[in-house]
């Protein structure tokens, strides 16, 4: 991979507090960058796709419909990794590894609406479909790796 020489292991402690993410890269968690989320699919093969995400200073969250494969994957294996690339500097990124500690029901769609606010500037998520059952996937970061 490019820039392997500047690769740093960041903060490797496997602890659940808000010091896992290096100060130097917390801005990425506060940005409107997408997170590319990797999970283990059926049989353990990796899967990855972009999501909107939230961050409360300790936990990372994203919205998921129950019909999606990723939701099923995470019920089977709650280990997860997210890659967040700086939108203005592609040579700077944060990888967070951790585990899903909770799925919170979102029947009123309050969380996905808050994501629409963050990413679209709209009060309501515009792409709800009849029958969509949404949960908030709550991730506890355990390890962070940074570059740039």
Q: How far is the CB of 147 from a second copy (least distance, A)?
A: 8
Contact between 25 and a second copy per CB under 8 A: no
Which 3-state string (H, E, C) describes the chain? CCCHHHCECCCCCCCCCCCCCCHHHHHHHCCCCCEEEEEECHHHCEEEEEECCEECCCCEEEEEECCCHHHHHHHHCCEEEEEEECCCCCCCEEEEEEEEEEEEECCCCHHHHHHHHHHHCCCCCCCCCCCCCEEEEEEEEEEEEEEC
**Choices 18-26, 32-40, 100-108; region in contact with a second copy by CB under 8 A:** 32-40
Binders of a second copy among residues 71 to 130 (CB under 8 A) are 77, 79-83, 85, 90, 93, 95, 97, 112, 115, 125, 127, 129
Nearer to a second copy, 55 or 125 (CB): 125
Question: For a second copy, which residue of 31, 109, 132, 138 counts as binding (CB under 8 A)?
Answer: 132
Task: List residues binding a second copy (CB under 8 A).
Answer: 1-7, 34, 36-40, 44-52, 62-65, 67-68, 70, 77, 79-83, 85, 90, 93, 95, 97, 112, 115, 125, 127, 129, 132, 145, 147
């Amino acid at each position: 991979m490019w820039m392997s020489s500047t690769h740093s292991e960041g903060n490797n402690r496997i602890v659940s507090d808000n010091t896992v993410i290096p100060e130097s890269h917390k801005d990425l968690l506060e940005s409107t960058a997408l997170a590319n989320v990797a999970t283990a699919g059926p049989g353990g093969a990796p899967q990855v796709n972009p999501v909107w995400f939230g961050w409360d200073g300790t936990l990372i969250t994203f919205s998921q419909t129950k019909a999606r494969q990723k939701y099923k994957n995470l019920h089977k294996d709650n280990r997860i990794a997210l890659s967040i690339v700086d939108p203005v500097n592609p040579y700077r990124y944060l990888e967070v590894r951790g585990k899903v500690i909770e799925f919170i029901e979102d029947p009123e769609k309050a969380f996905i609406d808050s994501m629409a606010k963050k990413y679209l500037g709209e009060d309501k998520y515009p792409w709800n479909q009849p029958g969509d059952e949404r949960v908030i996937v709550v991730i506890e970061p355990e390890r962070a790796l940074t570059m740039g």
